[in-house]
Amino acid sequence: MPYLWINNKVAVELDELVPKYWNCLKTLQSELNRYKQKPFGIKRLQLGGNGRKLLIDFDSLKIAIQDELGDPRRIDNPLEPFFEFDPQAVRYYTKFKRAGNALEAEEQERYIINASVMSAAIKLEEARFQERIKLRGSIRGMLAILVKDVEQFNITLKIKHEVSHNLPASEKQFKKLLKDCKKDLYYPIIKDPNGGKTNNARKVDDKTEVIFNGLFKNQLHKPTPSEVARHYDAFLNGYAEIFNEETGELLNPKDYKALSNTTIINYINKWENRIATHLSRSGDRQKYMKEYTTPHQMDMPVYSGSIISIDDRNPPFWYEKGKRVWFYIGCDIASQCFTTVVYGKTKEGIITDFYRQMVRNHTEWKLPLPHELECESSLNSNFRNTLLRPGAMFQSTRIIANKASGKYIERMFGKIRYDIEKESYGWISRPHAKKESNQAGPGENKIIPYNQLVNDRMIEIEQWNNMPHPTERSISRFDYFLKKQHPDLKPTNWEAILPIIGYKTETSCRLGYVTLQGRKRAIANEGSILTGEALINILKIIESKEVVVYWLDGNDGQVIKALVYFNERLICEIVEMPRYNRASIERTKADHEARVLQSSYVASVESFARQQRSKFENINITDKRAKTVNSNFKFSNLKRFEAKEEHFPEIFEDQDEDALMLTQTTAIPSWKRNFIQ
């Protein structure tokens, strides 16, 4: 058989030509030599010998020989030169999803073939158009020919590739598909790409499904799926009416098809329906969430203080029959260390105590408060807009509606329950524990005295915190908590948290001191006592006034922070004035410093007083208002001053006061006067 050689040439081997067309090799060789230098006649493709085969150019053979041998380049369909399996189609259809589902392998295969053939058809149409223009032929009726070519191409596909396409054979349909495929080759090939047409054949369409779910969800007595099936049957037969509560529309049974009970039950029990109907019907939210909510996948934090997870817990021990202690516990997730624990017989006020305790502990350990909080909503929702507002006590808060699997601390509780508490005296098992080893043993539940119970639990938490950290086993959980604090934690925002969780005391400011818990405390700012101008500015506001102090005590009972509020406005902080020894011989360096501080504190107040006094000038007042109405009442024997009239000599006015006359007292005759007269 001739076969393809390079440059679209076809090679024919010697044994196919000799002796059928040439008697022997020699005659063939002589003919080859005869036409060797000529532009026509038989030609070699490859010289024979030295391990090579003699190859003759198929195109140089006589036409009769060519016809008998057959040309491997011969094509039966004009699509052949343009056809190739499209790798992009493979990628497209493997990734394509119809209504969320990937296509089946068989369907993908069909579309890949169809797209490849359609791609060839588009190329052929273009080439044919060009050819017809070139040969001055008509370009009418080309589509019909193309449809025929595509249809005929199935024969070639079956022979050469053992596959077949199913592109439309109808000219009208093919034309539409061709037009669409010119814009986007792959998408139009897909039958029902949105998965909508399959619904047309469905007996149970969307509106019927709405009826099932509505009947299943909205009825008060929580019907079983079988009951819903009976209701639907009654509705179809006219024994029951179904209406839309919102619009009041009565549904027409003629619009709905008869269905078997099994079908209805299966539809009601489909996951996508259950997830909605069970939410409305379920009384046990935990059970619902366990079945239908998807948990997040998260990596563990590395730094302690990044996030604290808190929750309440009733350890499985009784202090009276059926009564358990309420604990509220905070767990730093990175270290798994329980950093805050409070307890009580009820949960009243336990949450406020818990936050106070958290502040006390962190202050004692000289650590800032955690960055983020993860908590349940039942107790914490009251603090949502105050204490738990981002930036107040924590920078970020995640309040999870009560969901058992939502909080990290729940898992820690599980561990503590089965790894530590289980061995303790009086431990009560769950009534339906999965593992047999966690199920109740024989005998009654034990009663443990309250104080002992609390003490035991606290010791267990201590033990837990002192156990090795799961990833760094060389250090305990608590050590990990202390050492691996996140470097970017914000300092405690006392101003935001004290008015909410602090204790409130009404007191007053006297002579520069505010009394709290029977102790005089000096005015300070950010922990340091104020003196001078800053102190005076505060005193101008609160001296001799009633103020409110919010404060919090530490684990040792001492006040760790106290803030003074006047008219609901934060004024200052108060701290204890450092004391010094009365005897000078016993004073330490700190005592000296305390004395200097106290002196300057007192001096600030006194100098202010002096300064104020010097501002005032010596000004007085004479009151001229009459104190009596008249003088009708008088004592007769009383000597009193009476005003008498005095007579002064009269002075007459000089009429010619201004006309001054010079009286001549001398009689000396003058020469001048003689002339005047």
Partner 1 sequence: MARAISPKTLFEKKFDEFDFDGIWGDAFGKPEKGGVWIIYGAEKNGKTLFALKLAEFLTQYENVWYISAEEGTGKEFQANAQRAKIDPSSRKIKFSDYTEIELVKERLSKRQAPKIVFFDNMTIYNDELKNGAFRRFTSDFQNTTMIFLAHEEKKEPYTATAKLAKKLAKIYIRIEGLTAFVAGRCPGGIIAINEKTALLYHGSAIKK
145 binds partner 1 (CB under 8 A): yes
- CB of 130 or CB of 612, closer to partner 1: 130
Does 131 sit near partner 1 (CB under 8 A)? yes
Number of residues near partner 1 (by CB under 8 A) = 30
Interface characters, 583-602, with partner 1 (x: CB under 8 A): --------------------
Distances in Å between the Cα of 270 and the Cα atoms of 56, 263, 322, 676 are 71, 11, 41, 154
> CA 331, CA 310: separation in Å to the nearest integer?
6
Rounded distance between C-alpha atoms, residue 454 and residue 450, angstroms:
6
CA torsion angle 522 526 530 534 (round to 10) = -130
Nearer to partner 1, 81 or 87 (CB): 81
Q: How far is the CB of 152 from partner 1 (least distance, A)?
A: 4
CB of residue 110 to partner 1, shortest distance in Å: 22
Q: What is the distance of C-alpha 103 from the center of its chain?
A: 34
In the complex, least distance from residue 135 CB atom to partner 1, rounded to whole angstroms: 5
CA–CA distance from 555 to each of 55, 122, 574, 615 (Å)?
A: 103, 84, 19, 49
Cα(222)–Cα(225) distance, rounded to whole angstroms? 9
Binding of residue 132 to partner 1 (CB under 8 A):
yes
> Cα(28)–Cα(18) distance, rounded to whole angstroms?
8
Q: What whole-number distance in Å separates Cα of residue 9 and Cα of residue 73? A: 9
What sign has the CA pseudo-torsion 233, 234, 238, 242?
negative
Helices 350-364, 494-501: axis angle to 10 degrees equals 140
Least distance from partner 1 to the Cβ atom of residue 83, Å = 13
Which residue's entry shows tokens 């209406």? 243
660 is a site residue for partner 1 (CB under 8 A): no
Residue closer to partner 1 by CB (options 75, 102) is 75
Give the E-state strand segments of 273-415 in sequence order: 307-313, 326-332, 337-344, 372-376, 396-400
Of positions 1, 7, 38, 652, contacts partner 1 by CB under 8 A:
38
Residue 361 engages partner 1 in binding (rule: CB under 8 A): no
Q: Which is nearer to partner 1, 81 or 195 (CB)?
A: 81
Among 1, 6, 135, 643, binds partner 1 (CB under 8 A): 135
Binding flag, residue 675, partner 1 (CB under 8 A): no
Query: Least distance from C-beta 41 to partner 1, angstroms?
Result: 5
Q: Does 152 bind partner 1 (CB under 8 A)?
A: yes
Comparing CB distances to partner 1, the nearer of 105 and 133 is 133
Nearest to 393 by CA among 301, 527, 489, 482: 489
- Shortest gap between Cβ of 116 and partner 1 (angstroms)? 17
Q: Which stretch binds partner 1 (CB under 8 A): 148-156, 171-179, 271-279, 540-548?
A: 148-156
Does 215 contact partner 1 by CB under 8 A?
no
By CB under 8 A, the residues from 451 to 470 that bind partner 1 are none
At 125, give phi and psi (nearest 5°).
-60, -45
CA dist., res. 232 & res. 226, Å (int): 10
304 binds partner 1 (CB under 8 A): no
40 binds partner 1 (CB under 8 A): yes
Among 62, 160, 257, 290, contact with partner 1 (rule: CB under 8 A): 62
Contact flag: residue 136 with partner 1 (CB under 8 A)? yes
Tokens of 368: 């800032």
Residue nearer to partner 1 on the CB measure, 67 or 462: 67
Residue number with CB closer to partner 1 (71 or 462):
71
Residue 189 to residues 165, 170, 172, 223, Cα–Cα distance (Å): 11, 15, 15, 45
Query: 610-645: string of b/e by CB count within 10 Å (b at 16+)?
Result: eeeeeeeeeeeeeeeeeeeeeeeeeeeeeeeeeeee
Shortest distance (Å) from residue 194 CB to partner 1: 35
Work out whether the CA dihedral 164, 166, 169, 171 comes out positive or negative: negative
Calpha distance 12→59 (Å, rounded)? 10
Q: Which residue has the tokens 């005929």?
A: 152
Nearer to partner 1, 156 or 598 (CB): 156
Nearby residues of 576 by Cβ (< 8 Å), 6 or more positions away:
519, 521, 522, 559
Residue with tokens 């619902």: 288
Query: x/- string (CB under 8 A) for partner 1, residues 66-85?
Result: xx------xxxxx--x----
| 128-136, 427-435, 482-490, 656-664 -> range binding partner 1 (CB under 8 A) | 128-136
Hey, what are 385's tokens? 């807009």
CA distance 158 to 77: 13
Nearest distance from residue 149's CB to partner 1, in Å? 5
Nearer to partner 1, 128 or 230 (CB): 128
Q: Which is nearer to partner 1, 40 or 652 (CB)?
A: 40
**The only residue of 137, 295, 349, 532 in contact with partner 1, by rule CB under 8 A:** 137
Q: What is the Cα–Cα distance from 79 to 153, expressed in whole angstroms?
A: 7
- From the CB of 86, what's the least distance to partner 1, in Å? 21
- Residue located via tokens 């003074």: 564
One of 17, 28, 149, 608 touching partner 1 (CB under 8 A): 149
Q: How far is the CB of 129 from partner 1 (least distance, A)?
A: 10
Return the number of the residue (136 or 473) whose C-beta is nearest partner 1: 136
Give whichever of 7 and 674 is closer to partner 1, judged by the CB atom: 7
| Residue whose CB is less far from partner 1, 81 or 414 | 81
Per-residue CA distances from 483 to 393, 412, 467, 476 (Å): 22, 21, 15, 10
CB of 67 to partner 1, least distance (A): 7
Q: Which is nearer to partner 1, 63 or 626 (CB)?
A: 63
User: Which member of 6, 63, 619, 667 binds partner 1 (CB under 8 A)?
Assistant: 63
146 binds partner 1 (CB under 8 A): yes
> Residue 520: enclosing H or E segment and its boundaries?
strand 519-525
In the complex, which residues of this chain contact partner 1 (CB under 8 A)?
35, 38-41, 62-63, 66-67, 74-78, 81, 124, 127-128, 131-132, 134-137, 145-146, 148-149, 152-153
